[in-house]
Chain A
């Protein structure tokens, strides 16, 4: 697992208070991990802080799964 994936999953586990095993690549924040819409906004804020990037609103709307987040951040840090 890449460093980015590891850090993303750690944030998700901490923020949503879910078991690590549930945070798979394909897990949807809302459907699988019990996030509400405010949680997803906060996750994006936490990603921005952790990785020192800015995630514009139109991109944030498309980050629905753990993999979406990893891919977006990887593309920014490429």
Chain B
């Protein structure tokens, strides 16, 4: 089950906690992975850890030309791209009254527009080969909202809508498009929080704990698999029951 031998995958934001877990999981399932991100050293360390079937394709997704170049770079290094995981994302939090235009624009550019551009560039090859998987890492916040994150919530809700439209366009070509929506996940970012704050975070989670990056990666692996071929346009929520939607 869930064997990706012979498949290729491009993972953006692969130097982050969740992105690295996704790359490791897809690699472990047999895929050849291209690791993208801005932290070249971290990407190279991950590629070295994975060994064979891993290449590094650095890119700054806030630059439109760099996004187009990334698609070409990944196709050149992998031969073609079967699985695209749009995982890269950033936050620029602040209450709407204080939010600057550039905080809005930078979050939309990287989280949503880069995902659109990469999907557009890579879906062409998937159509030709009659097989493809486009997976967006969205967020629970894109569905529930969260104070201080109008930009981030809009980008993540946008990704869900984009994915549904894309799924409808390419379903007949054996290409699926889906999202995974993490809740609170333990990463380097949450590790440093004081225990009291962690307790507060988990109080609203029926599972009583934070999720792990591997639990997000497992959901991505399922959606990337051939077995999930009839699942498209969906958002798989991985949040310990924090929001049941």
Secondary structure call for the A interface: helix
A38 within 8 A of B: yes
B173 within 8 A of A: yes
Closest residue of A by beta carbon distance from B170:
A38
Whether the pair B172, A38 counts as a contact (CB closer than 8 A) is yes
Q: Is the CB of A38 within 8 A of B169?
A: yes
Q: In the complex, are the beta carbons of A45 and B169 less than 8 A apart?
A: no
Total contacting residues, chain A, CB less than 8 A: 4
Main secondary structure of the interface of B (DSSP, over half): helix
Residues of chain A with a CB closer than 8 A to B169's CB: 38
> B128: CB under 8 A from chain A?
yes
Bitwise, B115-158 to A at CB < 8 A (1) or not (0) is 00000000010011000000000000000000000000000000
Kindly report which residue of chain A lies nearest to residue B173, judged by CB atoms: A38
B173 with A45: CB separation less than 8 A: no
List the interface of chain A (C-beta within 8 A of B): 36, 38, 42, 45
Across the interface, do A45 and B172 meet the contact criterion of CB distance under 8 Å? no
Residues of B within 8 A of A38 (CB): 127, 169-170, 172-173
CB neighbours (8 Å) of B127 from chain A are: 38, 42, 45
A45 partner residues in chain B, CB cutoff 8 A: 124, 127-128
Q: Which of chain B's residues 153-170 have a Cβ closer than 8 Å to chain A?
A: 169-170
Chain B residues, Cβ within 8 Å of A42:
127-128
Across the two chains, which residue of chain A brings its CB closest to B127? A42
With the chains together, A36 CA to B173 CA distance in Å? 12
A45 to B172, CA, bound (A): 17
User: CA of A28 to CA of B124 in the docked complex: distance in angstroms?
Assistant: 23
| Docked complex Cα distance between A45 and B129 (Å) | 13
A-B contact pairs, 11 of them (CB 8 A): A36-B172, A38-B127, A38-B169, A38-B170, A38-B172, A38-B173, A42-B127, A42-B128, A45-B124, A45-B127, A45-B128
